[in-house]
Structure 1
Amino acid sequence: MFFTLYDLVREKFEIDSVSFDGKAYKHLIEPTNDGLNVMLKSGKHTALEGTFTKRNRDLRIKFSYNRTFKGGVDYQDKHSGSWTAPLRPDYTLSIWPKIFSGKEAEENESIVHIHFDAKYKVDNFYQTVQPDLEGAELEHALDQTEIDERRGTYKNVDLLKMHAYKDAIRRSGGAYILYPGATDETFRGFHEIIPGLGAFSVNPSPDTVDIKGLSDFIDLVIDHLLDRTSQREKLSDETYHIFKEPKEDDNVLHERMPEYIDKEKVFADEVAVLIGFYKNEEHLEWILKNHLYNFRTGTDKGSLSLSGMHLRAKYLILHGKDELETDRIFKLTSKGPRIFSRNDLLKKGYPEPQGELYVVFQLEREASDDFGKIRIDVRRLTRFETYRNSARPFSATLSEVLQSRIVELHQ
């Protein structure tokens, strides 16, 4: 089985065979005690490693057998392993972008491991899964296993073992049974070929080995790995950014807030809130009448930069001169901001615009009820500046506003 997979991986990923003295596999085998036969060297080995370049993408490939994935590996350790018990699949195919080392790819979630287990040794299979079986029960279980093997079937417990590999070994994209059976079957976790589980029939004969299903699967995996719009790869990147910083059990937010905004799930640490200043009552009246708020843009002092956080803002908090506690909270429309010229604002009756270009947000509604009628002390927001700079616009996350800067109204 090993040599079948070795040759398949070498062929599919166009990796030259490693040879010594002109003999392939020599680095992987050792003679038996009687010197008449050879066997695979025991322990952890990298059988193949190389670079695969195709369709404008460069990948690193590593094919290992008997690779042990250390147990109890915490996510913050940033290296390969299982987060529960130690596990050792028969074969592991690891792929990652060439620009990273294997260690770096583990750290940034860009590596994917695909595991294979050969179900050809069944002597202790049921004792491993059900160690309490003995006597007649064990004999019956082994008899049934032999019947299943002859029928070319695999059991749910085999798939459970594959689940263990895929779910426990960090950054695993799939785990598959190789067995002497009659059918191939794969299960997709989502839409793409991986993440997934499955089983492939591999039937040796004196002249050849029937591995068409497995070969076709590797072709699909390669197409997937070369895809620049892979959903799995997007998920891996999101996983890296979400979990790269630890979150303690006591770091929680229990404030009232909407579950969804504009049909999108709300995560308070990702929602941007703009904090704006109104100059006087005339300015405030214009804002409320036109349902618009404008920030001056450009290079002048006090202008708003066009950062992604500002452009994606969902809420606006307004405060005026000497008004450092405010309940003026507005929901912004989902359309995003527009650019207005000075003349555009004059046509709408804006009082004395002084800049040339403005970023203008449309107010959808008053929104203090979204958060349980609150007042916000803008002095407690991290980026608030005092004295003459207190009118400068800035932004904060909704979690910062809710978790640290809120004073509730007393009825």
Structure 2
Amino acid sequence: MEALRFEHQDGDYQVIVRSEDLSYAWERFKDRIDYDNDSKPNSAMPYEERYCKYSSKDICKLYLYDYQTSKLKETPEDGQQVWGEQRPVMFETCEYNIAIRFKPGLLDKKSTPKVLHVRKDIETAFFLDKDYNGNVVGLSGNVSFLNEPGVFKLEFEYQHAGKTKRTWVTFEVVSPKLDTKHDYKSLLNDVNEEYNDIIFRYLATTYQQLTRGRVKNDIVWMNIFEDIIDDYLKNIELILRRPHQNVRTYTTYAKVEKVKKWTPALEDEYAEKLQAKQLDNHWFELKESDNTVNTRENRFVKHTLVHIGRRLTKILNEVLTNNRNDDLSDDHRNRLLNYKERIHKLEHNPFFRTIGKFEGMSQDSMVLQSRAGYQQVYKDWIKLRRGIDLYNGASNIGTLQIWEIYELWCFIKMKRMVKQLLHIEKEYPGYEKLVSEPVGSLLNPFSNSKMEHVVTFNYPTPNENDTSEWAEQMRMHAGDVITLHYQHTFNRRNADTFGVHTATTEQRPDIVLNITKEDGSKILLTYLYDAKYRVINDKRLDKDIEKEDMEEMQELHGGDYPPSDAINQMHRYRDAIYYGLGLKDHTSKEVIGGYILFPGRGDNETIAKRYYSNSVTSVNIGAFPLLPKSKSRKEHYGHEDEDSPQLYEHLKDILLEKSLGYEHVENSIPQRGLVYKLPLEGKNAVILVGYCKPEQWKLVLKNKLYYTRAGFESGSLRLIPGFESCKFLVMHNQQDKAIFKLTGQGARIVSGEDLQKKGFSASKDYYLAFDLESNNPEISFEGKAGEILQLKKSANPYKKEPYFTTLEQLLEAANNKESTDSF
């Protein structure tokens, strides 16, 4: 089926675009666009029918596919070069065949038409079409715009009547996954706001139409350069033919025999000197004038030529020598080198040898503002100097593929959500100590290079007088560290300081969130996130979708689905990444949960009922829809939760509400035979060390009950992961020291009143209590026998404050190593 057709006004050529089916993409597109952004809500034509713009260099007729009649239909504007507010027919998820057909006999014999594009794969996708007699009649090729919504410029040249003609047509490629005009621009804005210049790419299939403004870098400069260079060079050549000149007046001195033009003043001076008999030795002052091209305007022109030549040489050296050189088409490479050569020749033209150095303009120049040649050079120079802004305009700039933009944007959103949860702003006192992020670009816009990017967050310390819930949460997380990784690699050869590694192949999730706990456990909690610019739509059976998904769709209308293979990938990540300092110790799991971030739409109530939302809490594998929904794009802080309430609540849960390590893993499901790393057994057995007043020692043994203070006050017991499996109690005072075995059922809350009834001197409202299995100690120490197993002096600076530790950390062998091992 034909999607669109451009017809030249004289019938010289036709550009015909075909595709298999557009109806599915069209229906998805209508579901994605935000009708609140319609600038003409009262228009008789629906917003989706006014979404795109088409253009051509020559006057043409434009025909577009009509979704109601399933036929090609001519646009109302006949014989135009720009068609605004038209329906889209080019979608990034569809593949297209593009054909250029020339009028019979138009092409010169033995001439070959060709497509011109910065990318080699676009140029080589087109082949010559010939008739039965072997005559060239056109070009055709298949082009995919996958992940590259934007404006596609189809430029081609051909020879007619001995002259080479170059022309082009453009059309907008839209995405059926998000609102290309608004969501996509929001992604670009947010990413560029955090990391300057990272979004731009020189070798892009499509480009974005942006407004000239404050963003200036080599990619922007190069795109503007290619837009203005032909006219710029023509105007330089015009200036060389008709340069601006100034009349210069200067003073010289000559003797009487050298004076050729006598003025009345000179004649009077001659008569005076003759009478005084001084003529032979007298020098007459002469006023001479001539024309000079060494004007400030010509010095300005020379300055622009030298500057452009130097910057073009610098950029070309990078473009032509990096690892993406194979992507650059031969024609485009030769064209750039030709520009470099022409600029070099003009710069060394004899005319400019007489021109001095440009030292700025002290006042406005009417020559630069109005004279032919100079005016155009001045305007082109301003364009190159201004750069672009990231909103709709006339500058054509290439950007990264949309899946890369979306991936980076998800990382930025998570970074901003963490800051919002921790109440960290740029203006926050000590911001640099709370947030650590290396300076530099993540990507090289001229190449494929990538590097890991890490942001580290420290929990802030609230004011002493702050009794809010947030302040209490910050105190509970004192000393904890959050680390957010972009493109972190896990492999079997290298492990980090925590021994995190894989047993088989390399794993590289998009985003890794680590929480380093300082609650005594010294463990690392890891959550993985993969950003996938893909959705399963409920209007057609997708190859990724499963039977259960279809049944759920019929029950719950609205709300997108993430791709099933992406969900499965999170299971593979969790199965592949282990904890173990020896790289061969795979007995402990590292990843607590894995989640997909995808551009899904739907109301919060419906999304909450989807399987991928329920599985987040049940098995810690699931998905979060994430799109730029916030209306306050300029005021990000305080609105990050609007883009994904589900993801924000998830981060709030793991970063604020779960203060202890065991709370993170209590609902996690490791593989059979594996556990999440907690100090529970062997040399890592959890032991409670507690002081007991001598007068209450017998009372503890009688009731087989040991209790400690609870809460935040001094002397309270701080819980650690695995405390519920504590098996032993080391009870001590200045007179006695013994190890008792606990029931292993964990701690329980008891009231001070109940303890008082048992004879204890308990004055607080409630306490943490541990039950002894027996009142007979497992090991007791009397006299010098206490030297066999000693309490480490460094275990706790407060001798009377209870604490949890491990056997390895607590006990040290002094004289009898066998006693230590037997325990």
Give the TM-score band, short-chain normalised: 0.3 to 0.5
TM-score of the superposed pair, with normalisation by structure 2: 0.24
Looking at both structures, which has the greater relative contact order when contacts are Cα pairs under 8 Å and sequence separation is at least 6? Answer: 1
TM-score of the superposed pair, with normalisation by structure 1: 0.42
Select the structure of larger CA radius of gyration.
2
